[in-house]
Amino acid sequence: MGVPVVDYCERRGLQRRRYQHAGAVSGTDRDRKEDQAWQEEITTIMSDKQDKNQQQAEPQLPLDEIIKNRREKIAVLRSEGINPYPYRYERSHTISEVRDGFEALMQSETVVRLAGRMMLQRLMGKAAFADIHDLGGRMQIYVKINNVGEEQFALFNKMDLGDIIGVEGTLFVTRTGEKTVQVHKFELLSKSLHPLPDKHAGLVDKETRYRRRYADLIVHPEIRQTFIQRSRIIRSIREFLSERGFIEVETPILQPLYGGAAARPFVTHHNTLDIDLYLRIADELYLKRLIVGGFDKVWEYCKDFRNEGMDRLHNPEFSMIELYWAYADYNDIMSLFQDLLRKTVFDLHGSYKITYEDHEVDFEPAFRQMSMVDAVKEATGIDLMPLSFEDARAEAKTKGVEGDGLINWGKVVEAMFEQFVEPTLVQPTVIKDFPLDISPLAKIHRDNPRLTERFELYIAGLETGNAFSELNDPDDQRARFEAQVEAGRAGDAEAHQLDEDYVRALSYGMPPTGGLGFGIDRLVMLLTNSHSIRDVILFPQMRPEE
RNA sequence: GGGGGUGUAGCUCAGUGGUAGAGCAUCUGCCUUUUAAGCAGGUGGUCGAAGGUUCGAUCCCUUCCACCCUCACCA
């Protein structure tokens, strides 16, 4: 602890002479003020040091050195009466507005006021160039001692990369043709303490990028584009559903029973009620209660939570849209979904074609439709429809599909489908008529009691939606739940619970209803050509640092 | 859970059984149309963590941690 005191004070002495040489300030009054500021700052830094020393013995890491230097600059600024964190700045334009109207603004010698983060700096003694960035782009600024005066110029030389500044000036074009702001006045709007990643290479380490998304966004403006597109996608969907008369609602995230999907939940606890609650895994059962209650068309943009594995397609919390439409069946939902996706794609890209990884996907033609059993038959030559569970399981085994999970006919069909069909579905394809065994909330198929009226949409090998003619027979629903409970007892951790209140709701009478759920993250992945769900979620789940 | 990979300066990366380097950033000096500005000089490291082998480990071995890819499981 003794060493830093001496060391620090000596450094301060050097620092102080340096600033005086810079010529920005002189006179004994100013000196006294600065002395006072330094005293205060030393006190602050010393107590910071004490704090740090209590946490770790290492006193002086390189990063600390940089941050310390910047704190010293802040202290000097304050001693000169400059607030390093002022309250607001009146911008006249954004950078992209200036770029778009550059010629006219330059001709008319309009004074513009821009603000942004300083990302590059080229200091040349009595003049300086710098690049500032805002959401819409980059603008070069030119600060010349003749234009801003000695004091401002000295101040500008003390700015660091990463500082947020505001500049006022007119426009010109340099001899190398770069559009530039001739700065007459500038202000520090927020001092940056932490150095930016490499100005050229950027931030490469994926872990750091996800953990410090703010830094990722600063140095990779193109990443922002993905999230702007995400916002547009949701806006298109919202517009579409609104035009079709769907009402946006909100249902509980904290639920005493979870349901609506096959997944393991997160558990939490409410102190006052002294009960465990589950974070919802789906909205389905609440939204259908609203259909019972007389809403004809409802939807929700929802965060769901599933306590399962994480990989490029799964984050523990993720976003879905679920919608329910009274007096409609799954065929109606199919065409609704198709229209919705086509509008969304077109709004985003101005075309119905997208590229995802190696695939070009075209949303313009009507989506191909196949029943799940037919799809398996086409891919493998095996028709599972007429087979018993045992025979189907034996057939599957000949294709190398086996496992403890194949506990009924439906599971066999599903496994065969996933193995041989799912990866091949590049163009938007509706797979319909799922086995009853694996669809506890869907209505039995009007032509085949072994199947349900359920479909999923596949695009580029990804499942992007799940829909059914909703089961509205309360007795059937109770029986399905009971089967699920039985499966749960047998060890299926993702089996449904029996939701008595939901069955009671159905017993009041729910109109025939079509419902749909689709994952927003995966849709955004598709439409922004992102490989991992972590690239479309701003703050993906990570194990905490340290 | 299996397999593969990565972890060295704030960032991007080299590298070696004899306790470490580059570029950028940072600091100092010079520089009034530069643009990854330039030139000159400096500071900065528990080489992811803990054990082991060795006279000596950042390097070899073991275990652990984090992340990435992939397969499996799972929507």
ipTM of predicted assembly, 2 dp: 0.88
Q: Give per-residue pLDDT as tens, A494-529.
A: 778 889 999 999 999 999 999 999 999 999 999 999
Q: Where are the alpha helices (DSSP H) in A350-452?
A: 372-380, 389-398, 409-420
- pLDDT at A56 (0 to 100): 29
User: Tens digit of pLDDT for each residue in A213-254?
Assistant: 999 999 988 889 999 999 999 999 999 999 999 999 999 999
CA A514 – CA A432 distance, rounded (Å): 14
CA of A51 to C1' of B46 (A): 21
What is d(CA A519, CA A98) in angstroms, rounded to the nearest whole number? 39
**What's the token pair of residue A402?**
């086996």
Residue nearest to nucleotide B73 (CA to C1'): A309
**pLDDT of residue A40 exceeding 70:** no
Kindly report the backbone phi and psi dihedral angles of residue A437, in degrees, each rounded to the nearest multiple of 5, phi listed first. -55, -30
pLDDT at A32: 37
CA nearest to nucleotide B46 C1': residue:
A58
Q: With contact defined as beta carbons under 8 Å apart, do A321 and A300 qualify?
A: yes
Mean pLDDT, residues A6-34 taken together = 31
3-class SS at A189? strand
Name the nucleotide with the smallest C1'–CA separation from A207. Answer: B67
Q: pTM, whole model, 2 decimals? A: 0.84
Instruction: Classify residue A307 as exposed, middle or buried by CB count within 10 Å of its CB (0-12, 13-18, 19+).
Output: middle
Q: Please report the pLDDT score of residue A546 as a whole number.
A: 59
Enumerate the H helices of A160-311 as residue ranges: 206-211, 213-219, 221-243, 284-292
- What percent of chain A lies above the pLDDT cut of 70? 89
Is residue A446 a contact partner of residue A453, using CB atoms and an 8 Å limit? yes
Checking DSSP bridges between strand A254-255 and strand A164-173, what pairing results, if any? unpaired
pLDDT, greater one: A1 or A282: A282
Q: Considering only A39-53, A71-85, A88-102, A337-351, which range has the smallest mean pLDDT? A: A39-53
Average of pLDDT values for A429-449?
93
pLDDT digit string, tens, across residues A415-427:
999 888 988 899 9
Q: What's the mean pLDDT in A290-316?
A: 92
Strand partners, A120: A131
Residue percentage of chain A with pLDDT more than 90: 66
**d(CA A405, C1' B3) / Å:** 24
Comparing every residue's Cα with the C1' atom of nucleotide B39, the nearest one is: A124
Amino acid at residue number A404: D
Burial class (CB in 10 A: 0-12, 13-18, 19+), A116: buried
| The pLDDT of residue A171 | 97
Q: How confident is the model at residue A492 (pLDDT cuts 50, 70, 90)?
A: confident
- Quick check: A282 and A319 in contact, CB under 8 A? no
Distance A207 CA to B62 C1' (A): 27
Instruction: Report the nucleotide nearest the CA of residue A202, measured to C1'.
Output: B11
- Report the pLDDT value the prediction gives residue A423, as an integer from 0 to 100: 83
Conformational region of residue A403, where left means phi above 0, alpha means psi within -120 to 50, and beta covers everything else: left
Element (H, E) at A536: none
Protein-contacted bases of chain B (C-beta within 7 A): 9-13, 23-38, 43-46, 65-75
The DSSP result for A271-336, as a single string, is: TTTTEEEEE-S-SHHHHHHHHHTT-SEEEEEEEEE--S--BTTB-SEEEEEEEEEET--HHHHHHH
Among residues A222, A194, A224, A218, which one has the least CA distance to residue A131?
A: A218
